[in-house]
Structure 1
Amino acid sequence: MVSKKIFLNPNNTFTESVSKFWLAFTNCMKNGEFFDYVPEEYKTITGTGLNEKWGSTYIEYLGKAIPFNIAILGDAKWDEIEEFICLVYDYVVLEDKRSLFEKKINEYLGRFDIKFLFLKGQFITADFVANQPTVTEVLEWIDLYPDAAKAYRAALKKLSNKEDTRNAIDDMRLALESLIRDIMGTTKTLENQIQPIGSALKNKGVLPQAVTLVTTMLNHYAKYQNDNVKHHDTVDVNDSELIVNMTAIIMKYIRDRLG
């Protein structure tokens, strides 16, 4: 549940940013906006802070008492805040409200320049990967395609946490392949979807040059994956940004045109 920390310099502005983030979030809890996300028993905010239901939830799911500063909605530390928000997402927020809650948390993270993204109940470090405009745009709608979303978020987490680049890039391919499968209604591999995608775009009245551009991109994308990821482990970590952006651009175009 606890993410990798990247703020080690005591002279940086992280503590101030966290305070602003937490103030915005607690104000959301106090002004009633937060109540849209949670069941009735979690909606009581007293003059001294959270009601007893929150304390019992901590004990039930984390096996410990709720931190005092969290309970009174006081000036909490980042580790406490992070743990609290993850707990809220996993065990408190209504299932059909989770995407809205996630969007709200990411709005606050961006507003106060905290270098994390909140994805599916976890905070990941927001380096060049997660900060790409193409990526953030895809994250706004990818949950409509659950298989693609699962693979896409897994790739982002691995890349942002500097984990296995080969598996991360393969997850990107799987995300694209899963999206196309959902949209086209087939179970074919990415390579075998390229010609049908071209035909579908043509039937939608897409200009021939655009069809050629998209299918050419897909051909080279699939070849890169097969040659360097699927059959060999020769992926270049410096290609990560290119693959991330290409994946997002292709996914968005196919979704916009054929979804």
Structure 2
Amino acid sequence: MIPITFISHASDFLGDTNTGLTGPKIAELFSEYAVQYNVNIPFGEYPFDSPNKRTALKENLKAFSSDQQFIILKDLCELEHFKSNSDVKDLKIKLLSRYGNLGKEINEILIHEVRHWLSDYPESLKVYTEALRKFDNQIFERNIMDDLRLSLELLLKGILKNNKPLEKQTSDIGAYIREKGVSKELINMFIKLVDYYCHYQNTYVKHNDAVVENEIEIIFEMTSSFMKFISRIK
């Protein structure tokens, strides 16, 4: 749980009169979070019916769960607006060091970032979101793994501009990330991991209805890490 004292402290910097976010920007960002998390916020329109924008920001934050607050605060700290703000950089360090354990069984921050990077690839995002829905509802069936595989496959088809199945993409992946200046060592490791991933899927999922439930989480996070990496370096 993030204490109200920290929420107030963060709001003072993020909503600072001179260096913080503007009132309209606070309303815009929090309205997006309200829709994303299906939460009612007290100050979704500007001008605010509150003493100041710091108060509006704080009260909006209080409407969310601790897990959601963590993600929102991290997002806000990483905005381009605060790129040179040493106070906000220090705030982010405090947030991560004190409350970095917040989140669901699957790394919620990673999930949030992946969905952001997949916004340019709606077909992949749709399948990935469906896999996440099944996980959240504890629907541990074979098709949750199928969804993860397909979402990664669709992303690679979109980025590499081909129509190859996942297991045929390793050489194209290597060539693509090599063009982006990635080190030889990381290229080799990434390709090897994708190869192992395909082998796992083919052995335990694609040709077998049995799903090992306690392995789903690591496969979910591995898929997410692959997708985040390949989409960020484009």
TM-score category (smaller protein): 0.5 to 0.7
The answer on whether the counterparts of 2:153 and 2:165 sit within 8 Å (CA) in structure 1 is yes
Q: What is the match of residue 200 of structure 2?
A: 224
Residues 91-106 of structure 1 aligned to structure 2 (within 5 Å): none
Q: Which amino acid aligns with 1:201?
A: I
Identity level (%): 31
State which of 180, 196, 205 in structure 1 corresponds to 2:172.
Answer: 196
Q: What is the match of residue 54 of structure 1?
A: none
The answer on whether the counterparts of 1:135 and 1:248 sit within 8 Å (CA) in structure 2 is yes
Instruction: Kindly indicate which of the two structures has a greater share of residues assigned to strand.
Output: 1
CA spacing shift, 1:199–1:141, aligned 2, 3 Å: closer
State which of 175, 179, 183 in structure 1 corresponds to 2:159.
Answer: 183
CA spacing shift, 1:106–1:226, aligned 2, 3 Å: farther
Please identify, of 141-150 and 210-219, the stretch whose mean Cα deviation from structure 2 is larger: 141-150
CA spacing shift, 1:25–1:199, aligned 2, 3 Å: same
State which of 111, 125, 132 in structure 2 corresponds to 1:156.
Answer: 132
The answer on whether the counterparts of 2:117 and 2:231 sit within 8 Å (CA) in structure 1 is no
Counterparts of 1:32 and 1:248, CA distance in 2: 39
1:4-48 Cα shifts (integer Å, max 9, x gaps): xxxxxxxxxxxxxxxxx9xx8342246468xxxxxxxxxxxxxxx
Q: What is the match of residue 96 of structure 2?
A: none
Q: What is the match of residue 215 of structure 2?
A: 239
State which of 42, 62, 66 in structure 2 corresponds to 1:27.
Answer: 42
Gaps of 5+ in 2: 1-33, 49-59, 70-102
Residues 1:256 and 2:232 aligned together: yes
Counterparts of 2:218 and 2:120, CA distance in 1: 25
Counterparts of 1:233 and 1:241, CA distance in 2: 17
Counterparts of 1:154 and 1:225, CA distance in 2: 18
Residues 1:169 and 2:124 aligned together: no
The answer on whether the counterparts of 2:118 and 2:231 sit within 8 Å (CA) in structure 1 is no
Counterparts of 1:113 and 1:203, CA distance in 2: 37
Counterparts of 1:139 and 1:107, CA distance in 2: 24
CA spacing shift, 1:223–1:28, aligned 2, 3 Å: same
CA spacing shift, 1:108–1:186, aligned 2, 3 Å: farther
Counterparts of 1:143 and 1:215, CA distance in 2: 24
Q: What is the match of residue 140 of structure 1?
A: 116
> How far does residue 225 in structure 1 lie from its aligned partner after superposition?
0.8
> How far does residue 163 in structure 1 lie from its aligned partner after superposition?
1.1
The answer on whether the counterparts of 1:155 and 1:172 sit within 8 Å (CA) in structure 2 is yes
Counterparts of 1:208 and 1:127, CA distance in 2: 34
> How far does residue 182 in structure 1 lie from its aligned partner after superposition?
0.5
Residues 1:109 and 2:64 aligned together: yes
For the residue of structure 2 that corresponds to 1:28, the secondary structure is coil
Q: TM-score, normalised by structure 2?
A: 0.58
The answer on whether the counterparts of 1:177 and 1:190 sit within 8 Å (CA) in structure 2 is yes
Q: Which amino acid aligns with 1:109?
A: F
Instruction: Please give the root-mean-square deviation of Cα atoms over the aligned residues, in Å.
Output: 2.8
Counterparts of 1:190 and 1:158, CA distance in 2: 22
The answer on whether the counterparts of 2:124 and 2:152 sit within 8 Å (CA) in structure 1 is yes
Residues 1:128 and 2:128 aligned together: no
CA spacing shift, 1:183–1:28, aligned 2, 3 Å: same
> How far does residue 164 in structure 1 lie from its aligned partner after superposition?
3.7
The answer on whether the counterparts of 1:201 and 1:211 sit within 8 Å (CA) in structure 2 is yes
CA spacing shift, 1:106–1:145, aligned 2, 3 Å: farther
Q: Which amino acid aligns with 1:128?
A: E
CA spacing shift, 1:155–1:203, aligned 2, 3 Å: same
Q: TM-score, normalised by structure 1?
A: 0.53
User: Which aligned segments of 4 or more residues in structure 1 are displaced greater than 3 angstroms?
Assistant: 29-33, 105-114
Q: Which amino acid aligns with 1:27?
A: P
